[in-house]
Amino acid sequence: MPASALPGVACAESIQYAALPYRRLADGVIEVMLITSRDTGRWLIPKGWPMPAMTPAQSAAHEAREEGGLVGRMGDCSIGHYRYDKRMADGSTVTCAVEVFVLEVERQLESWPEQGQRRTRWFLLQDAADAVDEPDLRAMIRDLTGRIA
């Protein structure tokens, strides 16, 4: 999807797709799984570049499986987007617009490709929102209950 296809996203930005993984406990409480970045260890949601021959939602599901071993039901429609500055291997940064899809997690695999490079953890909604750095992602997490009703 070209950057210009997202409302309010400048053409100079790069697009990534992300999964916002959640589960509903028996008492109705919703938890969000966050993963750590490989380089800084900060909490975030699984995300990555578009995958050839995959829809945006499929790309997001692929990242969730690769980065967190997460498998479940992926929403087809984006719930919004947020921006962040991605540090590239050469030390430069690029502003990315991340389109977010909800993933109702059914299970976490016993092993996955980036298991030794990241940590995963379930958070209550408010704690997950407080753990991430990006204000728009924080708002999406806080509003998750209304988005999945």
Strand bridging mode 14-24 / 93-108: parallel
- Asked if 50 contacts 17 with a C-beta cutoff of 8 angstroms, the reply is yes
Closest CA to 100 of 119, 83, 125, 124: 83
Q: Is the pTM of this model over 0.85?
A: yes
Structural domains in the chain, CATH included, are 3-148 (3.90.79.10)
Which position has the higher pLDDT, 148 or 122? 122
- What is the per-residue pLDDT across 12-48, written as a single tens digit (0 to 9) for each? 569 999 999 999 999 999 999 999 998 889 999 999 9
Residue with tokens 């929403």: 75
